[in-house]
Amino acid sequence: MRIHHLNCISTCPVGGWLFDDRTASIVRRGRLACHCLLIEAGRDLVLVDTGFGLRDVADPKSRLSAFFLALLAPEFRAELTAIRQVERLGFEPRDVRHIVMTHLDFDHAGGLDDFPWAKVHLLESERESAMAQRTWLDRQRYRPQQWSTSSGWRTYRASEGERWHGFERVRALEGVPDDVVMVPLLGHTLGHAGIAVRRGAGWLLQSGDAYFFHAEMDPKRPRCTPGLRFYQWMMEKDRGARLANQRRLRELNGRDEGVEIICSHDVREFERLSGRSAAVPRRAMRPPPPRSVEIAR
């Protein structure tokens, strides 16, 4: 399987260095990635998360909460949406047949509307929790405005498949190759999951928001920036589960089992794997497919 790394619109939190550990000052806004994966699976494409979408770019105030718009100030650029980067790579957007979600937060699910034909896969508990809208923060993070495709979502229960490197996993995803595995990592949300993709003899585990800063996966001396530590605390739905899963991920990272672990928002991880700045969209690798032209009558 070939994996393409897409940053589908960065967020720029107030506090700069306190979040990303690389912005020059705390009075400037920082930069976090929105790290999505595009997987070539035979003739079909599989997206892992979607980031922000075209409708978010066009009218963010009607789609996203004023609270998160002020806090994170997403860098809205249509060229960085998943659908536009798919096109830049020379693929037809309709070749994206499946979207596998880590969770439904607004910065992961905004592009679902851009692929209404794709089958969306997620944990059942994530759909239930998101749609319940129980708290004020739930109503800010979960945005039904982004869910025009929700009637066709395919949901799964945790613990229905064989174990994966000591973690529970769901059974095979319907229509998706067995080389893509959903691994429940509850805590950040009640239906949060990591998505493991076979890569040669090993695996790449996109752990979503199970952690936010690369140094959190250091098996000996884990650390996180103050801003991201606060943000994780603010957003967590189950603190015990979140911290337990972080410990388990660190333990896995410390063992030589051929698994590389990444998260959704660490810029260093994204730039290392993609080989480019998080501000640059994926470059085309092949000529774009011919587009049909409507002839005026």
CA distance 296 to 81: 30
Q: Report the DSSP beta bridge partners of residue 37.
A: 5, 48
Structure tokens at 183: 């691994």
> Is a pLDDT exceeding 70 seen at residue 297?
no
Tokens of 55: 């409708």
Q: Which residue pairs, CB below 8 angstroms and at least 24 apart, start in 167-173?
A: 167/194, 167/248, 167/252, 170/123, 173/98, 173/100, 173/121
pLDDT at 208 exceeding the cut of 70: yes
In this predicted structure, what is the pLDDT of residue 54?
98
List, in order of start, the domains of the chain with CATH numbers: 2-274 (3.60.15.10)
d(CA 46, CA 37): 8
Q: Rounded CA gap, 147 and 141, in Å?
A: 13
Radius of gyration of the chain (CA): 18
Task: Say whether pLDDT at 62 is over 60.
Answer: yes
Q: What's residue 43's pLDDT?
A: 87
For the record, the structure tokens of 10 come out as 């960065």
Nearest to 80 by CA among 53, 105, 62: 53
Residue among 107, 100, 97 nearest 75 (CA) = 107
Strands 119-123 and 259-262: unpaired
Residue 283 has what pLDDT? 67
DSSP percent split of the chain into helix, strand, coil, nearest 5:
35, 20, 45
Tell me, what's the pLDDT at 256?
Answer: 83
- Give the distance, in angstroms, between the CA of residue 197 and the centroid of all CA atoms in the same chain: 14
Token pair of 109 as six digits: 């699910």
Alpha-carbon span 198 to 207, nearest angstrom: 14
What is d(CA 214, CA 18) in angstroms, rounded to the nearest whole number?
14
Q: What angle do CA 267, 271, 274 make, to 5 degrees?
A: 135
- Please give the average per-residue pLDDT across 271-288, as a whole number: 78
pLDDT tens-digit readout, 127-153: 999 999 999 999 999 999 999 999 999
Kindly report the backbone phi and psi dihedral angles of residue 58, in degrees, each rounded to the nearest multiple of 5, phi listed first. Answer: -70, -35
Q: Is the pLDDT of residue 95 over 70?
A: yes
The number of residues in the chain equals: 297
Quick check: 289 pLDDT over 80?
Answer: no
Return the pLDDT at 284: 60
